[in-house]
Amino acid sequence: MAEPEGPLARPRVDAADRELGVRHPVLSHGFVALIDYMGNDDAIVQAARVSYGRGTKTARDDRGLIRYLMRHQHTTPFEMVEYKFLVRLPIFVARQWVRHRTASLNEVSARYSVLEDEYEIPPPEEVRHQSTRNRQGRGDPLPSDVVNAFRTDLERVSRDAYASYQRALEAGVARETARLLLPVAYYTQWYWKIDLHNLFHFLLLRLDPHAQEEIRLFAAEVDRLARLVCPIAFEAFEEFQLRALTLTQREQVAVRALLEGRTPKEACAQAGLDLTRPDGQPLKTGEGPEFLEKLERLRPAR
């Protein structure tokens, strides 16, 4: 295919340009800011049509092509769009975020800089029991005296830790060693660059209700800013991934049983989706309960 003639104009999105550098608050001291972006919905279409060749625009409009790409998991064209964010977040959130290794990041270094005296105290409603269904999540509310005691202890520990940190620095302890005194409630900051395909994967996991509440708040702000650049791609992502349901082989057997008039319990039994433990007690987690949760999502809103 012949190269385009003349100078190439960089794709611009006015709504996104107005947000460049704007810090949007998240939690007590955090924020998300869109710093730069490369490409937009047109870049996705352009990359896809390089593969398809000339003449395809008359056969399928841009929106239809993007939806086709998303629906059939043709991911490479989405990699043509990139974002760069500046994010300030608690260290305990950063340690979850950094598990997404398909991005580039540069974090403020406590070996070179003195960290600010900013830490996160969760609001009372977010201090809850350990979940009985999710081994790494929160569950039912706690008594107010337990909540208040935890938040008071966290405030005290954080203040004492920072005071010790300052004393160590003043005594000449190297910054890279003194930082060991600070708990994960303290804040860090980084530049984070990622392409759209991998951003969709990040959002799929971090907007999920099972993700920790704090990282979901950051993911929601990233989502809001990123979709300004590629609204059509995000529309397709929401429909075909974020709000979609997948059915395993056994779940398909159960659905066929439901269509034949079986009850959900009978359908699960026919498909081998256990709903009870060997002692007869109901399962709280596992393939059977998860299938029933999917059925609940399909029920009309009450």
| Cβ-contact 221, 24 below 8 angstroms | yes
| Cβ-contact 247, 298 below 8 angstroms | no
Amino acid letter for position 107: E
How far is Cα of residue 215 from the mean position of the Cα atoms in its chain?
7
**HEC per residue, 121-161:** CCCHHHCEEECCCCCCCEEEECCHHHHHHHHHHHHHHHHHH
Residues designated catalytic: 206
Structure tokens at 284: 């709280």
The answer to whether the Cα torsion of 261, 263, 269, 273 is positive or negative is positive
Cα–Cα–Cα angle for 101, 103, 105, rounded to 5 degrees: 100
